[in-house]
Amino acid sequence: MRKCNKLMLIKNSASFQLVNCMSKPKVYVAREIPERGLKIIKERFDAEVWPEYAPPPKEVIMEKVRDVDAIASLLSEKIDAEVFDVSPRLRIVAQMAVGFDNIDVKEATKRGVYVTNTPGVLTETTADFAWTLLMGVARRVVEADRYVRNGLWKVGWHPSMLSGRDVYGATIGVVGTGRIGSAVAKRAKGFNMKILYYDVIPRPELEKKLGAKRVDLDTLLRESDFVSVHVPLLKETYHLINKDRLNLMKKTAYLINNSRGPVVDEKALYEALTEGWIAGAALDVFEQEPTPVDNPLLTLDNVVVAPHISSASHETRSKMAEMVAENLVAFFEGRTPPNLVNPEVTQVRPLTRLF
């Protein structure tokens, strides 16, 4: 708890009592996060919540952070040096997401600001959605839905109506085998798939349990029927899937991306899809979000799209919100937040009980 500069004398019936004047830390919550986390934050802190569905504009963030001890942020808030410059009081940014490419962690660390995220809880939900996308594009589910609704289903059954590609027994290439990529690979085992993976770190457990084979990226792209991307957005992964790499893929292959949009060069992807270099793509993430409605990719039937909802199950989003609260409570109680992204920050500003 933050200590006030003065102690207060409070009169009760019998005597004067010395009360240590402590105020709750102020937390700016950048959206109505699920109740399970919000309730704790409201109970434990002096919380202000941005009430709108759309994210707070940067000016609002700049204004609010002047006077808060913490921000509970989402992916949509850019928390950069500009924000840190106007927030001398800010001690922690608690993000409700596993990814934190919207936060300049280096700048945060330099200024002694702790950064936390919500890993783990969303792994299975996000892996499930990668598979939803994969199955959806391979078996043309969204196209089939439109076909029926738009009155195009005029013949009861036809041997080649909306034929897709088999998933069972095919080859999947998992790009990035952190928690989510590994969970995607595990599911592939149930589909009797050959599993290739590309990662800077070898994963002997995947090799042993699933028979997964570590290959270089070019080999993975050449040999896979489904390429599923699960890398964080870093300088090194920006446009990792570019024109040259799309060109290596099989004409019958599909690209799945539910990591970060800028990992795939969308212009090159459009070319690949329209020139027949690959069979289709399924995307939950885009270079710009929300993606403009005139994004040319949205005109293609062999593209399945979703609005960045891979971790969006009621259960998981509630748990994520709770983790945000837990990270904040731990920090202000002087404990290491369970999901600290920048542990080196403790050298800059050691933990101390703040309430």
Q: Which residues are catalytic?
A: 260, 289, 308
Residue 3: how many CB atoms within 10 A of its CB?
Answer: 12
Choose one: 32-40, 92-100, 222-230, 297-305; the region binding ligand GLV (CB under 6 A). 92-100
- Smaller CB separation from ligand GLV, 286 or 332: 286
Query: What's the CA gap between 63 and 266, in Å, rounded?
Result: 35
Backbone angles phi, psi at 223, to 5 degrees: -105, -10
Please state the closest distance from residue 126 (CB atom) to ligand GLV, in A: 7
Beta bridge mates, 79: 103
Stretch 235-254: interaction string toward ligand GLV, x if CB under 6 A? --------------------
Q: How many CA atoms lie within 13 A of 326 on its CB side?
A: 13
Q: Which one of 30-38, 91-99, 144-152, 162-170 is the stretch in contact with ligand GLV (CB under 6 A)? A: 91-99
Of the residues 29, 40, 97, 220, which one makes contact with ligand GLV according to CB under 6 A: 97
Residue 74's contacts (CB-CB under 8 Å, 6 or more residues apart) are: 30, 31, 33, 55, 95, 96, 97
Residue 337 token pair? 């937040």
- Regarding 311 and contact with ligand GLV (CB under 6 A), the answer is yes
**131 phi and psi angles, rounded to 5 deg:** -70, -35
Q: 217: Cβ–Cβ under 8 A, 6 or more apart, which residues?
A: 175, 198, 240, 245
Q: Is residue 37 within a helix (H) or strand (E), and if so which, with residue range?
A: helix 35-44
Counting contacts by CB under 6 A, is residue 130 touching ligand GLV? no
**Nearest CA among 61, 75, 31 for reference residue 309:** 75
Residue with Cβ nearer ligand GLV (97 or 324): 97
Which residue, 130 or 195, is less far from ligand GLV as judged by CB? 130
Q: State the binding string over 20-59 for ligand GLV (x if CB under 6 A, else -).
A: ----------------------------------------
- Output helix, strand, coil percentages for the chain, rounded to the nearest 5: 35, 20, 45
Q: Are 114 and 331 in contact (CB under 8 A)?
A: yes
Query: Footprint of ligand GLV on residues 108-127 (CB under 6 A)?
Result: 122
Token digits for 122? 């969303």
Contact residue for ligand GLV among 99, 120, 178, 296 (CB under 6 A): 99
Nearer to ligand GLV, 75 or 170 (CB): 75
Binding segment toward ligand GLV, per CB under 6 A, in 54-62, 95-103, 192-200, 240-248: 95-103
In the complex, minimum distance from the CB of residue 184 to ligand GLV, in angstroms, rounded to a whole number: 15
Give the distance, in angstroms, between the CA of residue 120 and the centroid of all CA atoms in the same chain: 11
Q: Which is nearer to ligand GLV, 97 or 255 (CB)?
A: 97
Q: Is the Cβ of residue 217 or residue 306 nearer to ligand GLV in the bound state? A: 306
**Could you give the CA distance from residue 33 to residue 273 in angstroms, rounded to a whole number?**
37
Alpha-carbon gap, residue 185 to 197, rounded angstroms: 8
| Closer to ligand GLV by Cβ: residue 41 or 103 | 103
Q: Binding residue for ligand GLV (CB under 6 A) from 98, 183, 264, 345?
A: 98
Of 66-74, 97-105, 136-144, 198-206, the segment contacting ligand GLV by CB under 6 A is 97-105
User: Which 166-205 positions form the footprint of ligand GLV (CB under 6 A)?
Assistant: none
Residue 97 CB, shortest distance to ligand GLV, in Å, is 3
- The C-alpha atoms of residue 123 and residue 121 are separated, in whole angstroms, by 6
Burial class (CB in 10 A: 0-12, 13-18, 19+), 43: exposed
Q: Give least dist CB 10 to ligand GLV, A.
A: 46
With CB under 6 A as the contact rule, which of the stretches 10-18, 85-93, 96-104, 185-193 interacts with ligand GLV?
96-104
Q: Among 2, 73, 43, which Cα is nearest to 320's?
A: 73
In the complex, the residues that contact ligand GLV under the rule CB under 6 A are 75, 97-99, 122, 311
